[in-house]
Chain A
Amino acid sequence: MTTNRKQDIILAGVGGQGILSIAFVIDSAALKEGYNIKQAEVHGMAQRGGAVQSHLRLSKDRIYSDLIPRGEADLILSVEPLEALRYLDFLRPGGKLITSSAPFINIPDYPDRETLIEQVRRVPGSVVIDSEALAKEAGTSKAQNTVMLGAAAKDLVVSQDGLREFIRVLFAPRGEKILESNLKAFELGRRAAL
């Protein structure tokens, strides 16, 4: 947990990878901890396997723009390595990039995996997480988004307990087993990023 008055986060991924679930957990925790929030999302056409992103703004002060200005993002959190590189010009100097290394290949010109990870590593302070392996370890490959949320936990302005609370709210209705896997996925992601 960091202790700033504001935090601007770009969540990136491919339609269907669950970035809005990550956004829900961070938002809800932030609201409970006294932050104002704005969260711009992509609905519609791009959700059919296209590139999607969400602008998440948390602040103790008033938030004006729904979109994060280029140069203000404190963090890019991506569940897919190619998508991680799409929004670099939003990052402020000293901002952080945390991404999964698991590619989602649904285009013919998808770059070579090594080249891609090499590009990510060139971004100062970037963190690469094998969310695929960790999600499997947690019990479901579907929990990669929760692994990535865990990986970002220590860099967020909201508390980790707050995040856990809303992981429960989100996944409890889907059954005990899914909830347990997601809580475990969060812990595995968190530890991998320490």
Chain B
Amino acid sequence: MTKEILLGDEAVALGAVHAGLTAGYSYPGTPASEIMEYLIRAARTAGTFVAAWSVNEKTAFEEALGVSFAGRRALVSMKHVGLNVAADPFMSAALTGVGGGFVVVVADDPSMHSSQNEQDSRFYAQFAQIPCFEPADHQEAYDMTREAFDLSERMNIPVMLRLVTRLSHSRAGVETGEARPQNGLKYGDRQCWTLLPMNARAQFKRVLELQLELVKISEGSRFNTLELNAADRSLGVIASGIAHNYVLENVREGAKKPSVLKVATYPIPEALVRKLVAHVDTVLVAEEGFPLIERSLKGLFGIPGKTLIGKLSGHIPPAGELSPESVRAALGMKPLERQAPSEFKPAGRPPQLCLGCPHADTFKALNKALEGFTKSNVFSDIGCYTLGYFPPYNAINTCVCMGASVGMAKGAAEAGVFPAVAVIGDSTFGHSGITALLSAAASHTNMIAIVLDNCTVAMTGGQPTFASGDRLLKIIEGVGVPKDHIRVITPLPKFHEQNVRIMKEEIEHSGLSVIVAARECLEETRKKNKRK
């Protein structure tokens, strides 16, 4: 056994490699990106498995599913909102079942450190009726990933591994084991994998019939632990994932120890929950994300004769991530003493575009070109350029989900907004913008899409992008945008006047225009120079 310091994300990646991974796929997204970054580095040295970025999460999921069909072990990783994009294959993969072990790693971002919303992916696992593992620390992240592959293969079903930001982006020592060899090639059975209604009905029935056994397996998992305090039956805590760390952090020295059930696997290990509830008067449920366990305990009528507290009762804040303090308060403990606070309130320091960023020059030109129009007609998307929301630019009015800018601009144009402008990064365009542009081209919508081609996925740390440069231009032409109205500009201060003029011309043109603002991200240039 060797001990390595790893990020939570990296512990998952290494666990997958040691489980005999044949291929892993992903699309970048905080806090999940470091899983694929690690796999790509590891694949480069080992050369025995595939690790690759895909164009979006749905594609990544389907690529991984193909590997599983071939009898070999596959991993797909993404941030929580990525699973919305991959939800279509995700829901049906529960029905097809798997060939080789298939693990879906989803990293949630409670508190929205780098996200547009909060979601709890455990609900997706419950929705698809597949098992879900929720590690509390790095060792579990490694061990559970290995076990998830075994379980997936044994039960013939995809398994979700759910991470949260604090584990994904924290480092700790991990003891690793022997690597298992990869599976050989074995083709899937066409009857299971072809979800025609007659086959799908049988496959769905199989998933339903599996549920009781999945509960039993969950109840028997070594990752769930129950410690009953025989001397004090007042309080019992059900803590899942990293919430368990916050409970132990607080009760470690406390004289009054509650009974504690740690839940690490789903479906909920019902027998263990029943034991804990029977033992105590008050049950506190602490879970990172939405109140999944708490809600199922509460049901419509609550637990007769017991007090149930947690997020639904207001004992733990319902939004944002847990903290040692919020769990401490819910445990009924006094806050720790702190150094006397100062009255000084430090000014906030939000993230911002780098000095000299190409997006800044595009926004300056766009603001100028739109002078005289009401400014609430710029539909933006997700990436570094979303920071154009802040002063001094104040350049954008929307950011909803990957690709939404183009579709929203089309809808707004059709509702009478003029000029309707979409602003979208090259990676986001490849991810979800192409289909929306195809739709706008087919309808000859009077709008402008500005594609910011900075040759990278900058916001998430500079992963490779696919719809960039020459290929980007060909795609735009290929979906049917008139050639005369595909304009390329270089967002640099010295071209400001020219860029404003081009934008104004395209505003005046009645129909669809695409302006590609092409200049490499400064971080990317810096990285390239460093490598030289």
Interfacial residues, chain A to chain B (CB-CB below 8 A): 14-15, 27-28, 31, 36-51, 63-72, 82-83, 85-86, 88-95, 106-107, 109-111, 119, 122-124
Q: Which stretch, B334-342, B430-438, B505-513, touches the partner chain A?
A: B334-342
Interfacial residues, chain B to chain A (CB-CB below 8 A): 3, 5, 7, 30-31, 33-34, 113-114, 166-167, 169-173, 242, 245-246, 248-250, 252, 323-325, 328, 335-339, 341-342, 344, 346-354, 384, 387, 459-461
Which residues from chain A contact B460 at a C-beta distance below 8 Å?
Answer: 44
Contact B349 A67 (CB under 8 A): no
Contact A45 B459 (CB under 8 A): yes
Contact A122 B352 (CB under 8 A): no
Contact B328 A85 (CB under 8 A): no
Residue in A28, A41, A72 whose beta carbon sits within 8 Å of that of B336 in the complex? A72
Contact A27 B171 (CB under 8 A): yes
Contact B166 A109 (CB under 8 A): no
Q: From residue B180, how far is it (CB to closest CB) to chain A in Å? A: 27
Contact B114 A71 (CB under 8 A): no
Which residues from chain B contact A51 at a C-beta distance below 8 Å?
Answer: 348-349
How many residue pairs, one in A and one in B, have C-beta atoms under 8 Å apart? 150
Which residues from chain B contact A95 at a C-beta distance below 8 Å?
Answer: 339
Which residues from chain A contact B114 at a C-beta distance below 8 Å?
Answer: 43-46
What separation, in Å, do the CA atoms of A28 and B173 have in the docked complex?
10
Contact B169 A42 (CB under 8 A): yes
Contact B245 A50 (CB under 8 A): no
Pull 7 A–B residue pairs with CB atoms less than 8 Å apart, ordered by A. Answer: A39-B171, A40-B166, A67-B166, A70-B338, A85-B342, A90-B338, A107-B349
What separation, in Å, do the CA atoms of A64 and B239 have in the docked complex?
13
* Given known A-B contacts A38-B172, A46-B113, A106 and B349 have beta carbons under 8 A apart: yes
Which residues from chain B contact A111 at a C-beta distance below 8 Å?
Answer: 346-347
- Mostly, the B contact residues are loop
Given contacts A48-B353, A70-B336, could you give 7 more A-B pairs where the C-beta distance is less than 8 Å? A31-B3, A36-B173, A42-B169, A44-B461, A47-B351, A48-B352, A92-B338
Residue in B323, B325, B351 whose beta carbon sits within 8 Å of that of A48 in the complex? B351
Residue in A44, A64, A94, A119 whose beta carbon sits within 8 Å of that of B249 in the complex? A64
Q: Identify which of A45, A110, A123 gathers the most chain B CB atoms within 10 Å of its CB.
A: A45
What separation, in Å, do the CA atoms of A42 and B169 have in the docked complex?
7
What separation, in Å, do the CA atoms of A191 and B478 have in the docked complex?
65
Q: From residue B287, how far is it (CB to closest CB) to chain A in Å? A: 15
Which residues from chain A contact B3 at a C-beta distance below 8 Å?
Answer: 31
What separation, in Å, do the CA atoms of A63 and B139 have in the docked complex?
12
Residue in B169, B324, B347 whose beta carbon sits within 8 Å of that of A110 in the complex? B347
Q: From residue B36, how far is it (CB to closest CB) to chain A in Å? A: 14
Contact A28 B5 (CB under 8 A): yes
Q: Which residue of A lies closest to B336 (CB)?
A: A71
Contact A65 B246 (CB under 8 A): yes
Contact A70 B335 (CB under 8 A): yes
What separation, in Å, do the CA atoms of A65 and B3 have in the docked complex?
20
Q: From residue A128, how far is it (CB to closest CB) to chain B in Å? A: 15
* Given known A-B contacts A44-B113, A49-B351, A88-B342, A65 and B245 have beta carbons under 8 A apart: yes
Q: From residue A87, how far is it (CB to closest CB) to chain B in Å? A: 9
Residue in B31, B172, B337, B347 whose beta carbon sits within 8 Å of that of A82 in the complex? B347
Contact A70 B354 (CB under 8 A): no
Contact A39 B349 (CB under 8 A): no
Which residues from chain B contact A27 at a C-beta distance below 8 Å?
Answer: 5, 171
Which residues from chain B contact A69 at a C-beta distance below 8 Å?
Answer: 249-250, 323-325, 328, 336
Which residues from chain A contact B252 at a C-beta distance below 8 Å?
Answer: 64
Residue in B31, B166, B350 whose beta carbon sits within 8 Å of that of A66 in the complex? B166
Q: Which residue of A lies closest to B460 (CB)?
A: A44
Contact B338 A65 (CB under 8 A): no
* Given known A-B contacts A50-B349, A50-B350, A64-B248, A44 and B31 have beta carbons under 8 A apart: yes
* Given known A-B contacts A66-B166, A91-B339, A41 and B246 have beta carbons under 8 A apart: no
Contact A89 B338 (CB under 8 A): yes
What separation, in Å, do the CA atoms of A10 and B169 have in the docked complex?
15
Q: Identify which of A41, A44, A95, A106 gathers the most chain B CB atoms within 10 Å of its CB.
A: A44
Q: Which residue of B lies closest to A82 (CB)?
A: B346
What separation, in Å, do the CA atoms of A72 and B342 have in the docked complex?
17
Contact A65 B324 (CB under 8 A): yes
Contact A39 B170 (CB under 8 A): yes
Which residues from chain B contact A63 at a C-beta distance below 8 Å?
Answer: 172
Contact B167 A66 (CB under 8 A): yes
What separation, in Å, do the CA atoms of A90 and B336 have in the docked complex?
10
What separation, in Å, do the CA atoms of A28 and B171 have in the docked complex?
11
Q: From residue B391, how far is it (CB to closest CB) to chain A in Å? A: 8
Q: Which residue of B lies closest to A55 (CB)?
A: B170
What separation, in Å, do the CA atoms of A46 and B249 have in the docked complex?
27
Which residues from chain A contact B335 at a C-beta distance below 8 Å?
Answer: 70-71
Q: From residue A28, how far is it (CB to closest CB) to chain B in Å? A: 7
Which residues from chain B contact A38 at a C-beta distance below 8 Å?
Answer: 170-172
Q: From residue B309, how far is it (CB to closest CB) to chain A in Å? A: 21
What separation, in Å, do the CA atoms of A71 and B329 have in the docked complex?
14
Q: Identify which of A41, A43, A51 gathers the most chain B CB atoms within 10 Å of its CB.
A: A43
Contact B387 A66 (CB under 8 A): no
What separation, in Å, do the CA atoms of A91 and B461 have in the docked complex?
31
Contact A40 B170 (CB under 8 A): yes
Q: Which residue of A lies closest to B461 (CB)?
A: A43
Q: From residue B269, how far is it (CB to closest CB) to chain A in Å? A: 21
Residue in B328, B342, B347 whose beta carbon sits within 8 Å of that of A123 in the complex? B342
Q: Which residue of A lies closest to B246 (CB)?
A: A65
What separation, in Å, do the CA atoms of A42 and B166 have in the docked complex?
9
Contact B337 A93 (CB under 8 A): yes
* Given known A-B contacts A43-B30, A122-B342, A109 and B324 have beta carbons under 8 A apart: no
* Given known A-B contacts A37-B5, A72-B336, A15 and B245 have beta carbons under 8 A apart: no
Contact B30 A123 (CB under 8 A): no
What separation, in Å, do the CA atoms of A47 and B114 have in the docked complex?
10
* Given known A-B contacts A37-B5, A41-B170, A49-B352, A109 and B338 have beta carbons under 8 A apart: no
Residue in A43, A89, A107, A123 whose beta carbon sits within 8 Å of that of B34 in the complex? A43
What separation, in Å, do the CA atoms of A45 and B353 have in the docked complex?
10
